[in-house]
Chains A and B, each alone.
Chain A
Amino acid sequence: MRMRTLTLTLGAALILGGCATGNMSAYESGLEGSEHDTAASTAKTEDIGTYRVTDLKPGHRPPLNTDEGGLWMKMDKAEGGLRSSGNIIEDPALNAYVRRVTCRVAGKYCNDIRIYLARVPHFNATMAPNGAMQIWSGLLLRVQNEAQLAAVIGHEIAHYLRQHSLKKMRNTIDTANSLAFFNIATLGITAGLADLAAVGSLQANNRDFEREADGYGLVLMAKAGYDPLEAPKVWQNLIHEHRAEKGAESSAYFLSTHPAKRERVNALRSLSKKAKRRWSKARAIGRKSYLTRIRPYRTRLLRDELQLQRFKRSQALLNLLKKNRTGMSELHYFQGELYRLRNKSGDRKLALASYQRALRTGRPPVELHRAMGLLLLKEKQQAKANQAFDRYLRRAPNAEDAEMIRHMMKRG
């Protein structure tokens, strides 16, 4: 069991994702760096690890006979699986766009990072030690502008540049070794306590890495000209969504017992102000360019989101997107879809009103007419339902369900 826990921890240590944070002094060192060297090492960063950004040269490839080489070999193999995975978004335009933002942030390390966009409707991005970066579609749907995307990418690139996975692996092995020693020395009597302490120290390490990545991420995005003040907003919006789903009370409880999250936003906010002062020309937000690029995929991504049937969370997301006033007709349609799928009392009326609004505002997805037909059928308004179905079929005569809908219309 103990071994399994350690194996699990080791496995988890290989892939990095967004997590928690503690104090902020560790990554402030990044802000003191010169224009040309994000690696500015201080005594504080040396506490975390002896590696510095400059230790990792562009085109870095560790020798095979090292532990790092072994880690890379494993990751290269895993990356092969990722490449052929069923949820990879292959769209060339979207990939090219994220690549451009990544290269702007990564600078001379651009060629060391490979991007994998995965169609998963949750907020996440990960970085493997060999430079394979995964970004989930739920994240693309949630960030509001290019600067916010750059903030996430900067954070992940920082994990890569600071070799966090390698350090985590070494920490885990060290912890496992000392644990083995401890167990032998005490004849295993205190093994449970030792395990607990070991896992605790590993988690503390992870927090250090996360806050360091936050700090270096800010430096990277600011140097690339992106407004660092956008970085904490990513987290604010996420917390807002979490609060909407779990309720304000549960969220307050969650945040009070897990101060890491709140602290992380606070730390990020105050650091981003410092970064803004340091790189005052970093003003790019890229709201319009981001929304234009993401628009062609948004319908699909919103459909994926609603498929989860987590209506409170989806509602918070829709509210956030509506603030942008982009593609409002589509957003009203999805608002209607949320009501239709939630199907609480009164939801049908709300859904129909949202669909009407979508129609008044612009050109919503053609499926709106089918959804309207469905609801009108439920309301026993067969004639009106048929009109809606007819509009759907006229716009999508070869739809996958055309024959069934014609059959339903005849029956009515």
Chain B
Amino acid sequence: MRRVLFVVAALAFVASCAPYQLVEPPQRVKVSDTYSVSPQVKWSRVNNTFFKNVEQWTVDGAGLQALMFINNVEDGQPIFRSRRKINIPVFRSSMNSLEIKELFENSMAAMQAQKVRVQNFKPAKFGGADGFRFTFSYKTKGGLDKKGIARGSVRNKKLYLVVYLGTRLHYFGKYQRAAEGVMRSIRFL
């Protein structure tokens, strides 16, 4: 009996801190109880991310490519709420999309991204609402080239942003279309 209890406890413990959980198509998946999306490939949800407010998916590993859902950023909060204390600029609900793009650039720089460059900044729908999208590139501190796309919107004074990024070589391109598909499928709950 004691052994069974131990196994159950051990399993519960392992399950609670499993680093990844599978996100499978074709059913819609809820993200942070905010909206649902429809994945087209099998993603893995990363349970322990560097940021408090980010839900993160990946296929090959978060260092290679990551799809990040940043939700409910309120006035006075930074886009990326780091678990470590870093000086990072904050979102203001009065910001328009140009200022949010600038906030994104400054936030990336604050997190040590080098030579951040935003391009193709355009209007786009986000879960049916008016929003924006852009592509970006940067180098890591170690010199690795990364590429990314982002789509976002401000809704009820809160910022919603979905960012997909990966290494410029191979991994960004590998699931770019799948990530764009997820971004297009957003439906607020």
Interface residues of A (CB under 8 A from B): 81, 84-88, 119, 304, 307-309, 343, 370, 374, 377-378, 400-401, 403-405, 407-408
Q: Which residues of B contact A88 (CB under 8 A)?
A: 143
Measured in the bound complex, the distance between the Cα atoms of B101 and A119 in whole Å is 22
In contact, A405 and B144 (Cβ under 8 angstroms): no
Residue B16 at the chain A interface, CB threshold 8 Å: no
Q: Which residues of A contact B128 (CB under 8 A)?
A: none
Residue B32 at the chain A interface, CB threshold 8 Å: no
Measured in the bound complex, the distance between the Cα atoms of B34 and A198 in whole Å is 55
| B118: min CB distance to chain A, Å | 6
In contact, B141 and A404 (Cβ under 8 angstroms): no
Q: Which residues of B contact A378 (CB under 8 A)?
A: 94
- With a 10 A CB-CB cut-off, give which of A308, A370, A401 has the most chain B CB atoms: A401
| A87-B139, A407-B123 known; A119 vs B98 contact (CB < 8 Å) | no
In contact, A404 and B140 (Cβ under 8 angstroms): no
Q: Which residues of A contact B132 (CB under 8 A)?
A: 404
Q: Nearest CB to that of B139 among chain A residues?
A: A86
Which one of B109, B118, B138 lies within 8 Å of A400 (CB-CB)? B118
Q: What does the 1/0 interface line of B78-101 toward A look like (CB < 8 Å)? A: 000000000101001010111101
Q: Can you list 22 A-B pairs with a CB-CB distance of less than 8 A?
A: A81-B142, A86-B139, A86-B141, A86-B143, A87-B141, A119-B115, A304-B109, A308-B110, A309-B89, A309-B106, A343-B92, A370-B98, A400-B120, A401-B98, A401-B121, A403-B120, A403-B123, A404-B97, A404-B98, A404-B121, A404-B122, A408-B96
Residue B114 at the chain A interface, CB threshold 8 Å: yes
| B5: min CB distance to chain A, Å | 37
In contact, B120 and A374 (Cβ under 8 angstroms): no
In contact, A86 and B122 (Cβ under 8 angstroms): no
Q: Which size bracket describes the interface of B in this complex? A: 20 to 34
Q: Which residues of A contact B115 (CB under 8 A)?
A: 86-87, 119
Which one of A86, A304, A405 lies within 8 Å of B98 (CB-CB)? A405
Q: Which residues of A contact B118 (CB under 8 A)?
A: 400-401
Q: Which residues of B contact A84 (CB under 8 A)?
A: 142-143
Residue B156 at the chain A interface, CB threshold 8 Å: no
In contact, B87 and A309 (Cβ under 8 angstroms): yes
| A410: min CB distance to chain B, Å | 10
Q: Which residues of A contact B101 (CB under 8 A)?
A: 401, 404
Known: A88-B143, A400-B121. 5 other contacts (CB 8 A): A85-B142, A307-B106, A309-B106, A374-B99, A405-B98
Which one of B94, B97, B119, B144 lies within 8 Å of A86 (CB-CB)? B144
In contact, B114 and A119 (Cβ under 8 angstroms): yes
| A400-B121, A403-B121, A404-B123 known; A85 vs B110 contact (CB < 8 Å) | no
Q: What does the 1/0 interface line of B150-176 toward A look like (CB < 8 Å)? A: 000000000000000000000000000
Q: Which residues of A contact B143 (CB under 8 A)?
A: 84-86, 88
Q: Which 3 A-B pairs have the closest CB atoms?
A: A86-B139, A86-B114, A401-B121
| A234: min CB distance to chain B, Å | 25
